[in-house]
Structure 1
Amino acid sequence: MKKFVFLCVFFAFSLSLRAQESGIRFFHGTWDEAIALAKKEKKKIFVDFYTEWCGPCLNMSLTVFVLPQVGEVYNKNFVCLKIDAEKGEGRELAKRYGVNSYPTYIFINPKNQEIIHRSGSNKPVEDFLYDAQGGINPKLGSVYMDKKYAEGKYDLDFLKDYIRYKKSAGSRDVQKYFDELISKGAKLTDPGVWNLYRKCITGYQNPYLKEVSDNYVRFTELFGKKEVDEKLTEVTSYAPVPFIKELCNFEGKDFNIKMRVMTDLFNQKKYDEAFAEVERLKADPSIDQHKFVKLLAFYVRVSPEYTDKELPYEILVNKVRGLRYVAYNMYDRDDAMPHFYYVQGLEYLLKRALEEGRQIPTDLVATPEYGKKVYDMRHPDLKVKPKRR
């Protein structure tokens, strides 16, 4: 029995250790030691400048740095360091490299300790992996690319790389550079240009959305209906309803119109109409309920100490109804926030009911009319394990 317990503990420890090592392995020595190691191993240096109070820094550490595909690229090519910009030698290094926002990512040549590439912010894994390319290949690094662009001597291939770099760096001027690409003769129907548009251009306030809509059949023939529809759905998600209605028919159009109707009512604080629309959407079998739930979560959050301090009781009740629906039907087990907001909303509702002598509506403890009937975070597509005979 003891041997069995030992093996179980050892196996669990091994899995834990393997999970820790699957992502970026950070070096825990001094700056000078890191420089010496990078020279010895013929690698560049990657530095994540962070602070203890920085939320985006923590999120990157917990969700991106730990991924196996990230570890594979960064461990192979860099000596990696996490440096607190407010402690120890981190203060001097942050000052030396002009770090004034967090997180900031610096890629350094250990031979001269100069920056090859600079980036930062909380970002998706695809952009963070692209950052690595700027550290590996100096001609894709921010220092070289910004200098070359400023000189004005570049071709379309360079401009495509520049757009991709600026997107990964979180620049707000990406569309300006894309407009330049098109003005110099690039065509949206070219696969490389389409891919840039798909990955780097957001929003509906540009001519490219209309070009795709007006030439929908051609674009679907070139790139496939699924890919085109996904892009049209993404870029129209915040567009006004009349604007969306004027576009071609695509998968996701009806959903976006229904979501905009609901969000417009919330934004205009027409709460009775907004919650009536929520009830209609709960019962609508034609929409993607999981996407609806993720959007609804934003509008029914309760903030007892700030925006909802003086919230009328009936509106609070409706918000908690919405929070309940979100919590019951959110299947992402890695996202605890919908459940936190549900508990927070319930607690505030109970407090207000006691203070104001109100009744808690019975439907908040009854079996839900729509969606999941049991609060268990179990995905509806997951079958029940058969009982052994």
Structure 2
Amino acid sequence: MGLIAALGSGLLLGIERERHKGRGPRRQPLGLRSFLLAALAGAVAIRLGDAALAVTLLAAAAFALAGYLRARDDDPGLTTELALLLTVLLGALAMHAPAGAAALAVLTTLALAAKTRLHHFARRALSAEELHAGLLLAAAVLVILPLLPDRPLALLAGLNLRTLWVLALLVMAIESLGHVALRLLGPARGLALSGLIGGFVSSTATIGAMGQRARQQPALFAACLGGALLSNIATVLQLALLVGALAPELLLHLSAPLLAASVAALLAAAIALRRGAARMERVALPLRRRPFDPRHALGFALLVSAALLGADAARRALGATGALLAATAAGLADAHAAAVSVAQLTVDGHLSSGLAPVAVLAAFSSNALSKCAAAWIAGGPRFAAPLAAAQAAIIGAAWATWRIVGA
């Protein structure tokens, strides 16, 4: 199996490089046979010992240097030469881990074959703001996250910094996915896509923005209403992701009510969008320059911290009833923060599995009141009335399903 993986790796990389070696007397000399032999040399050398592998690598480096000096006027890059050295190492790795070597060979070949697309992505498609955001997200995951303690801290009233940071990372990742979707599909797709993706950031803010646009452009009323309703689906999906990350068992209890709420939101949005479909394609929406706003993610983590402390204080003072009231009040500001606080109380054993789903649904319901208020303020009664009716249907579907399945 090791020899087969080595042969396959050399063959795969060699075919890709053969197609890019060029023509003429000064063409790149490294092609299919060179890579195939390099992989076999690595496989044989690793069997002979470390000294043989070192000599093989030095020889391959010398051959790669000779090929570079010969063809540098036509091909100043070092991609082929570095790929040859990697092929030797993959041949050696294949004798110990055939599956891993084969996987690395496939990934390397894909990277080599996607040269034009990768160059276009790095130089033209990727903006400076997106690059900085990507580096910030990478630093948040690879640098900051490992440094945070994964235990409740008495100095912070029992809060777990790593858990809060993971929640902030989830928010940044969700916003980034929404940004990528808009980049791939284009903002001109219309208000439906904007509403759905905007709901991952803030459904209440999205509804307010849609209401304001509907008031300014009455011809797009139906499309704006559909986009506002689609933001509810994002609310449910994000709530499920956050609760599932902390308390998978709680998510199992909430799966049926949340699914019912999603179906109700989708039906309501479909009815509205059907009326405005003819005009949606002519709408052009601006695209944000940054994939995510770190201040929003940190603000969400702070809001979750406040909700956790408030729910714990209410539970200590009033018991389970206090935790339920605290979740309902927190839901007016953010249903996700309230749901996270309930999930954390459930994991810590401070809230029973029977009451926890009720607290999450209560926060989900109170958050619907904030959405209706935002629709009224931004879009007026004409926009708020159908949205309030849809919110009532969504909340009613969730509670009815809970009564039938979960209660």
Choose 1 or 2 for highest CA Rg.
Answer: 2
- Higher normalized contact order (CA 8 Å, seq sep 6+, divided by chain length): 2
TM-score by length of 2: 0.23
TM-score by length of 1: 0.24
Structure holding more strand per residue: 1
Structure holding more helix per residue: 2
